[in-house]
Amino acid sequence: MEKGCANSMKVCSVVGNRPQFIKSVLLHHELRQQCELVVVNTGQHYDYALSGIFFDELEMPGPDYDLHVGSGGHVTQVARVLDRIEEVIKKEKPDKVIVWGDTNSTLGAALAAVKMGIPVAHVEAGPRQYDLGIPEEVNRVVVDHISTYLFAPTQHCANVLLMENIPLSRVWTTGDVMFDNFLRFAPKTREHRHVLVTIHRPVNTDNADRLWSIIMALESIQVNAGIGQVIFPAHPRTVHRLDGHRKSIVSMTEPVSYLEMLSLLCKANLVITDSGGLQKEAYWAGVPCLNVDVSGLWPELEEAGWNRVVDPVGLIDAAIDTHVGQSIDGVFGDGKAYKRIAEILTSA
């Protein structure tokens, strides 16, 4: 048993993508005090700027296993996780397997665990976009329906799960572990001096015309909207797609660390993104957000006016006409989701 463990339970947590490394920091720390924790990194993200940097910056112990799944088609990625995690689960024999969010790593790990008779705990259960053409939607729906512990970040997410006939006894509304992180790590000062952009979803990057219309809109916002410089820390997928055409007046940088991202966010007067996570962080920082066609994930933010869904053509007008939304305090919990989740996992 690990030093400091309060009981003999063994929990295996599977991460593999940038947001999962960040989301897991507080719950992993909490679980290490209460039980034995085995951390598996699928290696879906492998560049230092998308993976190792977060372990270093947040002072997290390195993972116990790395499956080196890497890049590939969706089927290949899921298949590699399924295949490679079997040995780890056989060897470690965990009592529960935790999976996070909606990536291919999440699906592969959850499928392997449930097939091997290990109960799955899903952190960030319940968001839906109701479009099975979106790879993450397939992952969300399947993982929620094969999980035993579903940790919903909002009441709306919990209601979705109940409407899909998932038994109430499996669903807990815990609050959002990303909000826990934000309260812990975000700077307290706000400055409002630039436009922060991230674009990485295939829907926006994999069609060259669409990606270029977004870049042109960003250039126009920088020149004409009078709301400051555009800062765009770019995911490698976006950089690859732009290839030799990167020369733009928009300041496109390498991916940044979590703390640097929070610092950029808290100095922003507008966020333009297709990230589900940054949509929420923008609200917590009090910064209006234009969401480039990733609708439905957080309807609370859309309804309260914090998060406006726009297509590339509408970006410039929407950027000129931004405003903050109504207060929806408490929707994402109270900053203690990780404590609730740890308690449920170690007592059940």
The single residue listed with the structure tokens 């929407």 is: 318
The strand ranges marked E within 238-288 are 251-253, 268-273
* Residue (50 or 60) nearer to ligand UD1, CB: 50
* Residue (32 or 200) nearer to ligand UD1, CB: 200
Site string for ligand UD1, 26-65 (x = CB under 6 A): ------------------xxxx--x---------------
Taking the complex as a whole, how short is the minimal distance between the CB of residue 273 and ligand UD1, in angstroms? Answer: 11
Nearest to 217 by CA among 323, 321, 311: 311
**CA 101 to chain CA centroid, nearest Å:** 6
200 is catalytic: yes
Please report, as a single letter, which amino acid is at residue 64.
Answer: D
Q: Is 135 in the site for ligand UD1 (CB under 6 A)?
A: yes
Q: Is 103 in the site for ligand UD1 (CB under 6 A)?
A: yes
* Residue 134 token pair: 């979106």
Q: How far apart are CA 329 and CA 51, in angstroms?
A: 31
* Residue (44 or 222) nearer to ligand UD1, CB: 44
Q: Is 256 in the site for ligand UD1 (CB under 6 A)?
A: no
Q: How far apart are CA 258 and CA 238, in angstroms?
A: 19
Q: Which of residues 166-225 bind ligand UD1 (CB under 6 A)?
A: 200
The single residue listed with the structure tokens 């917590």 is: 284
Taking the complex as a whole, how short is the minimal distance between the CB of residue 65 and ligand UD1, in angstroms? Answer: 17
Q: Is 23 in the site for ligand UD1 (CB under 6 A)?
A: no
Are the CB atoms for 100 and 20 separated by under 8 Å?
A: yes
Candidates 13, 17, 174, 322: give the one binding ligand UD1 (CB under 6 A).
17
Site string for ligand UD1, 67-86 (x = CB under 6 A): ----x---------------
Taking the complex as a whole, how short is the minimal distance between the CB of residue 236 and ligand UD1, in angstroms? Answer: 3
Please report, as a single letter, which amino acid is at residue 222.
Answer: Q
**CA 162 to chain CA centroid, nearest Å:** 23
Contacts with 115 (C-beta within 8 Å, 6 or more apart), sequence order: none
Q: How far apart are CA 29 and CA 6, in angstroms?
A: 13
Are the CB atoms for 52 and 27 separated by under 8 Å?
A: no
* Residue (135 or 314) nearer to ligand UD1, CB: 135
Taking the complex as a whole, how short is the minimal distance between the CB of residue 237 and ligand UD1, in angstroms? Answer: 4
* Residue (75 or 168) nearer to ligand UD1, CB: 75
> Cα-atom radius of gyration of the chain, to the nearest Å?
20
Which stretch, 152-160, 235-243, 300-308, 312-320, contacts ligand UD1 (CB under 6 A)?
A: 235-243
- The b/e string for 25-63 (b: 16+ C-beta within 10 A; e otherwise) is bbbbbbbbebbbbbbbbbbbbbeebbbebbbebbebeeb
Q: Is 240 in the site for ligand UD1 (CB under 6 A)?
A: yes
Identify the active-site residue in 45, 200, 235, 323. Answer: 200
Contacts with 56 (C-beta within 8 Å, 6 or more apart), sequence order: none
Binding site for ligand UD1 (CB under 6 A): 17-19, 44-47, 50, 71, 102-104, 135-136, 200, 235-237, 240
Q: Please list the active-site residues.
A: 200
